[in-house]
Structure 1
Amino acid sequence: MKIAKKIVGYSVTKPTDANSDGTALTDSKSDDASKTEGQSADVIHMHETLARPQKLIGSTYKLKTPDHVSSHAMYITINDIVLNEGTEHELRRPFEVFINSKNLEHYQWIVALTLIMSAVFRKGGDVTFLVEELRSVFDPRGGYWNKGKYMPSIIAEIGDVIEHHLIDIGMLKSNEPDEVQAKLIADKKAELRAEHSAAQADSSQSTEAADEPWMATATLCNKCNTKAVVLRDGCQTCMNCGDSKCG
């Protein structure tokens, strides 16, 4: 079509079907789409401009390191916000974190760390990367053992606490062994106990080592950082998480 005159305006027309009386038919697909858009618009997502409610639910975790690291315990409080409460889209997400301790030696970096983590939480999105970032921090003076698990630094153990909390609220999947792995680990432990039943626990060994004599010769697991790797059936196998070099 050749346009011979100057265009001074335009409008977009859409083809519509008509009823017998001349009225236009409604498009059921567009109605459904508009309803879906309306429902999705009502869903509240985590973002940095979301106002803090007057009341938040939270959990407090006690972190006690060996005395040579810190003589005072740390108390980590993580407060969560509940989004879309009472609907099928209800979610519990971390909103802020506080760390308290009597040890003032770490006061400055503790305040800085809590402010940064709280800011990341309020940004929304996938905040689970914080766990690996914190765990990758190593103390230049060396790590320590805490409850049978090796911790490269206090920061890394704080990351461990964050991970446990994210698992509790459903943001991370539990890394516990499944039923098959748990049964295999239990069978292997039973075999080890039977093999060491004749051996007498040394009085200088810890209570944990006396209860599980095989732990005296166990090595560190690279996956769960627990001293529980032993040689079973010709393969190095962790008696805590089930990780095996043989697959």
Structure 2
Amino acid sequence: MAVKIEKKIKGYSVVTPEDKAKEAAKAAAASVSAVKAEELAVDNVIQMHERIERPEILIGSTYKIKSPLFEHALYVTINDIVLNAGTEHELRRPFEIFINSKNMDHFQWIVALTRIMSAVFRKGGDVTFLVDEMKAVFDPRGGYFKAGGVYMPSLVAEMGAIVEDHLKSIGMIHDPEISDAQRALIAEKRAAYEQRGAKKNSEVTSSATITVVGPRNEDVTVTGDGASFPPSATVCHKCSTKALVLMDGCATCLNCGYSKCG
């Protein structure tokens, strides 16, 4: 294609194959330098390990456990260390844990547990395995229900649930997102249960000769962080919440949508 030159030519030069090779070499060198700089920046990122010294000040959160197994409440404090503060690689990691209570019956095993857990935190790496290990501990005397109707097989299991909530708050554990279809299914089951209860109430009020045996309508009210479920509900083995009710002859969970009939 012809190119029309409308300006006066002041000078020219011929690009030889050698010049092209030099330009390519410069571009390759610049690319290698950029990769090395990036690798160096990554190498300078501080990761959690046991040689990190404890700072004078740590960020902490305290959680309260009120268990029917103890007269006095337990207070669990988890302190975090902030690594690479002020950079794009800033990390918040658990550093130590303390458990305090007026109840001294189990003082020695509580101290041992907190020291071992703190050592695991300071070791670094993936410490989320502690959650599964602690939540799998069962009390031979039986578990209990904490506020919200969630079943706890032991006190250690509730401590594991607290560690899980804390690791979620600092971004080490992420909840699997519930799909829109699953949310719609749960809402549909709750609505069906409420409608069935309302129908029973209308049948009771419309005839004075009918005798109803069993519970009447039990309200299911959805709150911001969860829901309150009927007193007659049983524990769902999938989500460990006391939200399993009998609907159309099938055990159905009003919290996670699990159904025994599929």
TM-score surpassing 0.5? Answer: yes
Alpha-carbon distance between aligned partners in 2 of 1:88 and 1:119, rounded to the nearest angstrom:
27
Instruction: State the 1:76 CA deviation.
Output: 0.6
Three-state SS of the structure 2 residue aligned to 1:33 is helix
Instruction: State the 1:101 CA deviation.
Output: 0.5
Q: Which residue of 2 aligns with 1:106?
A: 106
| The 10-residue stretch of structure 1 (209-218 or 101-110) with the greater mean CA deviation from structure 2 | 209-218
Q: Which residue of 1 aligns with 2:212?
A: none
Q: Which runs of 5+ in 1 are unaligned?
A: 1-17, 20-24, 201-208
Alpha-carbon distance between aligned partners in 2 of 1:140 and 1:246, rounded to the nearest angstrom:
31
Alpha-carbon distance between aligned partners in 2 of 1:171 and 1:242, rounded to the nearest angstrom:
27
Deviation string 1:13-34 (CA, Å, 9 cap, x unpaired) is xxxxx98xxxxx6633432232
Q: Which amino acid counterpart does residue 55 of structure 1 have in structure 2? A: I
Q: Which residue of 2 aligns with 1:51?
A: 53
From the superposition, tell whether residues 222 and 176 of structure 1 become closer, same or farther in structure 2 (CA, over 3 Å).
farther
Q: Which residue of 1 aligns with 2:245?
A: 230
Q: Which residue of 1 aligns with 2:36?
A: 34
Alpha-carbon distance between aligned partners in 2 of 1:111 and 1:184, rounded to the nearest angstrom:
45
Which of these residues, 64, 67, 75, is aligned with residue 65 of structure 1?
67
Three-state SS of the structure 1 residue aligned to 2:64 is strand
Deviation string 1:83-110 (CA, Å, 9 cap, x unpaired) is 1111111111111111111100111111
Structure number with greater Rg is 2
Q: Which runs of 5+ in 2 are unaligned?
A: 1-17, 20-24, 205-216, 221-227
Q: Which amino acid counterpart does residue 28 of structure 1 have in structure 2? A: A
Q: Is the 8 A contact 2:194 2:219 kept in 1?
A: no
Deviation string 1:203-234 (CA, Å, 9 cap, x unpaired) is xxxxxx95449734433211221121234466
Three-state SS of the structure 1 residue aligned to 2:106 is helix
Q: Extract structure 1 runs of 4+ deviating beyond 6 A.
A: none
From the superposition, tell whether residues 84 and 235 of structure 1 become closer, same or farther in structure 2 (CA, over 3 Å).
farther
Q: Is the 8 A contact 1:177 1:242 kept in 2?
A: no
Three-state SS of the structure 1 residue aligned to 2:93 is strand
From the superposition, tell whether residues 214 and 93 of structure 1 become closer, same or farther in structure 2 (CA, over 3 Å).
closer
Sequence identity percentage = 57
Q: Is the 8 A contact 2:59 2:80 kept in 1?
A: yes
Q: Which residue of 2 aligns with 1:84?
A: 84
Alpha-carbon distance between aligned partners in 2 of 1:214 and 1:196, rounded to the nearest angstrom:
13
Instruction: State the 1:192 CA deviation.
Output: 0.9
Deviation string 1:186-215 (CA, Å, 9 cap, x unpaired) is 332122122113459xxxxxxxx9544973
Q: Which residue of 1 aligns with 2:193?
A: 192
From the superposition, tell whether residues 142 and 38 of structure 1 become closer, same or farther in structure 2 (CA, over 3 Å).
same
- The 5 Å alignment of 1:164-183 reads 164-175=165-176, 177-183=178-184
Three-state SS of the structure 1 residue aligned to 2:80 is strand
Instruction: State the 1:144 CA deviation.
Output: 1.3
Q: Is the 8 A contact 1:192 1:214 kept in 2?
A: no
| The 10-residue stretch of structure 1 (140-149 or 71-80) with the greater mean CA deviation from structure 2 | 140-149
Alpha-carbon distance between aligned partners in 1 of 2:141 and 2:95, rounded to the nearest angstrom:
33
Instruction: State the 1:246 CA deviation.
Output: 5.6
Cα-Cα RMSD = 2.7
Three-state SS of the structure 2 residue aligned to 1:89 is coil
From the superposition, tell whether residues 104 and 175 of structure 1 become closer, same or farther in structure 2 (CA, over 3 Å).
farther
Q: Report the TM-score, using the length of structure 2 for normalisation.
A: 0.74
Q: Report the TM-score, using the length of structure 1 for normalisation.
A: 0.78
Count of residues paired in the alignment: 217
